[in-house]
Amino acid sequence: MSGPAASSSSPTAHLMGVYGRAPLAFERGEGARLISTEGEAYLDCVAGIATNALGHAHPRLVEAVKAQSEKLWHVSNIFRIPEQEKLADRLTAESFADVVFFTNSGSEAIETALKLARKYHAAKGQPERIDIITFEGAFHGRTYAAVNAGGNAAYLDGFGPRLPGFIHLPFGDHEALKAAIGPTTAAILIEPVQGEGGARAVPDHCLRGLRDLCDQEGILLIYDEVQCGLGRTGKLFAYEWSGAAPDVMCLAKALGSGFPVGACLATNDAASGMIVGAHGSTFGGNPLAMAVGFAAVDEICKPETMDNVREVSAYLSQQLNGLRDRYPDVIVDVRGRGLLIGIKLIPNNREFMVMARDQKLLVAGGGDNCIRLLPPLTLTLAEAQEAISKIERTCDQVRQNAAKA
Ligand SMILES: *Cc1c(COP(=O)(O)O)cnc(C)c1O
């Protein structure tokens, strides 16, 4: 093949068509503000996609990237990586966990957790324990095992036979759960607050019930906190609200505050099968990602960050419930926890997102006809007020369109 690159009328002609992209691109960002290539400012209540927890171009993170990029980007895990040890020390000090495996994404953290769970039982002489129980509405990522764990048919159809060892149960059906556990069960995998499924929080007593059940049955409890972890709910980890710690936990999105890095955390016991050679990653845990991750976690852990999440989320929740009361023809439910907020709509959520964009507000979509607000944890009260008036204007617009139709 030779010759000039094919010209095409569409700027995305050479990208695999797996995304339904908005006709909008950005040039730069600052805090909760994104500036488009057309020079227009948007209020960003997507924050990457719950990744940029500290907003865009946070000075501490910019400094961390600059400083580490001038020293060392990547070395193999065949060597010690002090930046990795430092972040692992911090994450384990702040959580239930004893050990960490670093990845580049949430899906890889989930892969690690799934492998760890099967290996755990194999190492303890029960290799028949392979089944992972997950729940309807779950999202665990897009790799083979992760889509099989999630169980969303739209992500599985056409990709050949489903992988064995995944059991999907209805959300909140305790009897179905008890009935599903048996001698081949390895683990329960759950998001303490479902993200993509539409910001559904698992009640605290249910997480405590899961903890007891796993203890009784000798199976592992795995939390997917890729989206709800690291400050998003107003505590560093979402499970802290319930007091029910897991055996294994996956993190990613906010861990690098926009820089790609994920992690699988575990107790020493849960990780007992993960011996030399059992697992690995080329890029996972590289010094550049670790330096940014450490700076992000250190900032997220600050009491003022967590206080801000609680204050701003309380305000948003109160205001959004007010909008639901005033616009019952638009908003049916407001849910979620902290700054992982789901707004279940009557009009189509994708159309609502386009209309919000016209108001210069960026929100995320979600399952169950929800839109999600996933702003930076640093969103100010003034910015939250601005978001509310933009949502209110969008609701007005929905009404006007309905009147015209
Ligand atoms: C985003 C997400 C994942 C997958 O993370 P990737 O980095 O896209 O692989 C897994 N679980 C949850 C809950 C997520 O929100």
For the annotated catalytic residues, the residue numbers are 139, 224, 253
Determine the residue type at 95. Answer: S
Please say if the pLDDT value at position 58 is more than 90.
Answer: yes
pTM over 0.95: yes
Confidence category of residue 1, pLDDT binned at 50, 70, 90 = very low
Secondary structure of 65-131 in HEC code, one letter for each residue: HHHHHCCCCCCCCCCCCHHHHHHHHHHHHCCCCCEEEEECCHHHHHHHHHHHHHHHHHHCCCCCCCE
Q: Cα-Cα-Cα-Cα dihedral of 119, 124, 127, 131, to 10°? A: -70
Cα separation, 320 vs 317, in Å, equals 5
The pLDDT value recorded for residue 3 is: 45
8 confidence band (pLDDT: 50, 70, 90): low
**Which helix H or strand E contains 371, and what residues bound it?**
strand 370-373
Average pLDDT of the chain, as a whole number: 96
Q: 223 CB under 6 A from ligand 1?
A: no
Is the CB of 394 inside a 6 Å radius of any atom of ligand 1?
A: no
Phi, psi angles (nearest 5°) of residue 21:
-90, 140
pLDDT 10s digits, 338-377: 999 999 999 999 999 999 999 999 999 999 999 999 999 9
Atom of ligand 1 nearest to the CA of 110: 10
The answer to whether 119 and 273 have CB atoms below 8 angstroms apart is yes
Q: Quick one: how far is CA 273 from the chain centroid?
A: 26
CB contact set of 161 (below 8 Å; sequence gap of 6+): none
Q: What percent of the chain stands above pLDDT 90?
A: 97
Residue at token pair 């059992």: 278
The rounded Å distance from CA 2 to ligand 1 centre is 39
Burial 91-126 (b: 16+ CB within 10 A, else e): bbebbbbebbbbbbbbbbbbbbbbbbbbbbbeeeee
Arithmetic mean of pLDDT, 275-297? 98
- The encoded tokens of residue 45 equal 């209540």
**What is the identity of the amino acid at 169?**
L
pLDDT at residue 405, as a whole number: 84
Distance 257 CA to ligand 1 centre (A): 14
Helix pair angle (349-358, 381-404), 10° resolution: 120
Query: Among 341, 321, 335, 308, which Cα is nearest to 227's?
Result: 341
Q: Output the CA 189–ligand 1 centroid distance in Å.
A: 13
140 touches ligand 1 (CB under 6 Å)? yes
Query: At residue 150, does pLDDT exceed 80?
Result: yes
224 lines ligand 1 (CB under 6 A): yes
By C-alpha distance, which of 216, 218, 188 is closest to 124?
A: 218
Report whether 199 contacts 366 (CB < 8 A): yes
Return the pLDDT at 6: 47
Cβ atoms of residues 320 and 343 within 8 Å: yes
pLDDT of residue 82: 98
Q: Is 195 in the pocket of ligand 1 (CB under 6 A)?
A: yes
Tens digits of residue pLDDT in 230-266: 999 999 999 999 999 999 999 999 999 999 999 999 9
Pocket test for ligand 1, best of 18, 227, 283, 374 (most atoms within 8 A of CB): 227
Compute, in angstroms, the gap from residue 141 CA to the centroid of ligand 1.
5
Q: Tell me, in angstroms, the distance from the centre of ligand 1 to residue 139's CA.
A: 7
Tell me if 225 CB under 6 Å of ligand 1: no
Q: Is the CB of 367 under 6 A from ligand 1?
A: no
Ligand 1 center to 241 CA (angstroms): 21
pLDDT of residue 106: 98
Structure confidence by residue, pLDDT tens digits, 189-230: 999 999 999 999 999 999 999 999 999 999 999 999 999 999
Residue owning the nearest CA to atom 6 of ligand 1? 106
Mean pLDDT across the stretch 136-146?
97
**Measured distance CA(243)–CA(211) in Å, rounded:** 10
Q: Is 320 in the pocket of ligand 1 (CB under 6 A)?
A: no
Q: What is the mean pLDDT of residues 270-279?
A: 98
What DSSP letter does each residue of 231-276 carry, written as one string?
TTTSSSSGGGGTT---SEEEE-GGGGTTS--EEEEE-TTGGGG--T
Pocket test for ligand 1, best of 19, 46, 107, 135 (most atoms within 8 A of CB): 107
Complete domains list, the chain, with CATH: 26-57+303-404 (3.90.1150.10), 72-300 (3.40.640.10)
Find the helix packing angle between 287-300 and 82-93, rounded to 10°.
Answer: 30
Q: Is 105 in the pocket of ligand 1 (CB under 6 A)?
A: yes
Q: State whether residue 348 is helix, strand or coil.
A: coil
Residues 6+ apart with CB under 8 A from 160: none
Q: How far is the CA of 50 from the centre of ligand 1 (A)?
A: 10
Ligand 1 atom with least separation from CA of 141: 4
